[in-house]
Amino acid sequence: MAIDFYKYQGTGNDFILIDNRDLKFNKNDTKLVSQMCDRKFGIGADGLILLEPHATVQFTMTYYNADGNLSSMCGNGGRCITHFARFLGIIEREAKFEAVDGMHTATIEEDLVSLEMNDVSEISETETFAFLDTGSPHHVTEVENLSQYDVYNEGKKIREEVYGSEGANVNFVEALETDKFAVRTYERGVEDETLSCGTGVTAVAIAMHKSKRTLSEEIKLLTPGGELTVKFDADESGYKNVQLIGPAVQVFKGQWI
C-alpha cells in the first residue's frame, strides 16, 4: 500500500510526517519505519511522526526514532507536527495534543512555533555534568572549543557507558554570551549527532540556569541547524511554563511505494 508522507525540518532536525487519522499505518512495523528513515535507501530522517486521532484534544503525536522504535518526546518534532496540523486544516493558530509524555499546547505564527514543554522539578548535578528529563532524558556537560569537539565518539561513550542499554541523549555546551549558548547533541535512537534537538536545548537552557551560568529566563541556543529560544519561569520548586520556540518548515511531500 502506498503511503503519502511529508518531509519536515526544524532547525535541521528532520522528520517524516504521516497523517494517520485513518489508522491505516502499520505501527508495529519497526522495519518499515527504519527503512523510511534510512538516508541511503529511504527518505532520510531523524525520526518518523504519526498524526493520529484523539478523543478529547485535536490530535495525538506518535514518535519513532530513526531506528524504528517508539521513543520519548521530541521537541522539534512537536513543533513540526503543529505546523503539519495547520497544513491539514486541523488547527488555525493554537494546538493541543497528546504525546508520550502527556499533553502539550502550541501556537504557530507563519513558520514560527512555540511549544509548551513539561515542567521540570528534578535536576541532578555533579561537578562535571547535569542530568534532567525534559520529555526525554538528557546529559548536559560544558566543553571548550565545541566546534572542534568529537561529539560522535564522546557522546556515544557517555550514552552507552554511563546510561546503559536504555541510554540518554548527550548534550555538549559552550557559553557564547550571558544568555546564549552553543549546543551539539548526540541522540540515542538516531545513534549519531543531529543538527538540533528540541528537548536537548530545553535541557541545556534549564541546566545552565540551574547552575547559575546564566540568570536569564529567556535563553538563545545556537545549534548546527539554527537558533532556538527557550523561555521559562523559575522558582524554588523548579521550572514552569517552559516554551521551546523556533521555526518549522515543510520541505517536500512524496509517496512511499
According to DSSP, the residues that pair with 235 across neighbouring strands are 238
Q: Cell 486544516 identifies what position?
A: 89
Distance CA 112, CA 248 (A): 6
Catalytic residue from among 43, 74, 182, 245: 74
With beta carbons less than 8 A apart as the criterion, state whether 48 and 16 touch.
Answer: yes
Active site residue 197: yes
According to DSSP, the residues that pair with 175 across neighbouring strands are 181
C-alpha cell belonging to residue 138: 538528557
Half-sphere exposure of 93 (CA within 13 A, CB side): 1
Rounded to 10°, the helix 198-210/75-87 angle is 130
According to DSSP, the residues that pair with 246 across neighbouring strands are 113
According to DSSP, the residues that pair with 50 across neighbouring strands are 18, 62
Distance CA 103, CA 100 (A): 8
Q: What Rg, from alpha-carbon coordinates, does the chain have? A: 17
Catalytic residue from among 80, 170, 195, 197: 197
Distance CA 59, CA 70 (A): 17
Nearest to 230 by CA among 247, 218, 214, 215: 218
Dmax (CA) for the chain in angstroms is 54
Would you name the residues annotated as active-site residues?
A: 74, 197
